[in-house]
Structure 1
Amino acid sequence: MAGTEHLTVQREGATLVLTLNRAEAKNALSLPMLVGLHDGWLEADADDGIRSVVLTGAGGSFCAGMDLKALAGKGMEGEQYRDRLKADPDLHWKAMLRHHRPRKPVVAAVEGHCVAGGTEILQGTDIRVAGASATFGLFEVKRGLFPIGGSTVRLQRQIPRTHALEMLLTGRPYTAAEAERIGLVGHVVPDGTALEKALAIAEQINACGPLAVEAVKASVYETAEMTETEGLAAELKRGWPVFDTADAKEGARAFAEKRAPVYRRA
Structure 2
Amino acid sequence: MTSLDTTVEEPVLVSDDRGVRTITLNRPAARNAVNLAMATAIDAALTEFDERSDLTVAVLAANGPTFCAGMDLKAFLRGERPITPRRGFAGIAQEPPRKPLIAAVDGPAVAGGFEIVLACDMIVAAENAFFALPEVQRGLVAAGGGLLRLPGRLPYPLAMELALTGNRISARDAADRGLINRIVEPGTAVSAALELAAEIAACGPLAVAATKRIIQDSPGWAADEAFERQSEVTAPVRSSADAQEGARAFTEKRAPVWTGA
TM-score > 0.5 by shorter chain = yes
Q: Which amino acid aligns with 1:22?
A: R
Counting only pairs closer than 5 Å after superposition, residues 140-155 of structure 1 correspond to structure 2 as: 140-155=135-150
Confirm or deny: 8 A CA contact 1:4 1:32 kept in the other structure: no
1:48 paired residue number: 53
Q: Structure 2: give runs of 5+ residues left out of the alignment.
A: 1-7
Does structure 2 conserve the Cα–Cα contact (< 8 Å) formed by 1:96 and 1:120? no
Distance in 2 (alpha carbons) for counterparts of 1:240 and 1:49: 21
Report what 2:26 is aligned to: 21
Considering only aligned residues, what root-mean-square deviation do their CA atoms show, in Å?
2.1
Task: Specify whether residues 89 and 53 from structure 1 end up closer, same or farther in structure 2 by C-alpha distance, changes over 3 A only.
Answer: closer
Q: CA deviation at 1:95?
A: 3.7
Contact 2:40/2:84 (<8 A) preserved: no
2:132 is aligned, of 127, 134, 137, to 137
Contact preservation (8 Å) 1:96, 1:121: no
Question: How far is the alpha carbon of 1:92 from its aligned partner?
Answer: 6.3
Q: In structure 1, what is the Cα distance between the partners aligned to 2:89 and 2:98?
A: 13
Residue equivalent to 1:10 = 15
CA distance in 2, matches of 1:6, 1:89: 15
The answer to whether the aligner puts 1:121 opposite 2:116 as a matched pair is: yes
What amino acid sits opposite 1:250 in the alignment? E
Which residue of 2 is the match for residue 64 of structure 1? 69
1:195 aligned onto 2:180: no
1:177 maps to amino acid: R
SS in 2 for 1:223: helix
Q: Measure the CA separation in 2 of the matches of 1:4 and 1:42.
A: 21
TM-score (norm 2): 0.90
- Matched pairs, number: 254
Q: Tell me how far 1:89 sits from its aligned partner.
A: 5.7
Higher mean alpha-carbon deviation, 194-203 vs 97-106, is at 97-106
Q: Distance in 2 between matches of 1:222 and 1:158?
A: 15
Which runs of no fewer than 5 residues in structure 1 stay unpaired? none
Matched residue of 1:59: which SS?
coil
C-alpha deviations, 1:86-123, integer Å up to 9, x for none?
xx862561644222131221011001111110111111
Aligned counterpart, 1:37:
42
SS at match of 1:224: helix
What is the rounded CA distance, in whole Å, between the counterparts of 1:186 and 1:227 in structure 2?
A: 29
Distance 2:238 2:87 in 1: 37
Query: TM-score, structure 1 length as denominator?
Result: 0.89
Name whichever of 239-248 and 162-171 sits farther off. 239-248
Q: How does 1:202-217 map to 2 (within 5 A)?
A: 202-217=197-212
AA matched with 1:193 = T
Which is worse superposed, 109-118 or 41-50? 41-50
Could you tell me the percent identity over the aligned residues?
41
Partners of 1:184 and 1:231 lie apart in 2 by 26
CA contact (8 A) 1:41 1:95 kept: no
Q: Which amino acid aligns with 1:146?
A: V
Amino acid at match of 1:35: T
CA distance in 1 between partners of 2:160 and 2:69 (Å): 20
Aligned to 1:237: 232
In structure 2, how many angstroms separate the alpha carbons of the residues matched to 1:29 and 1:221?
26
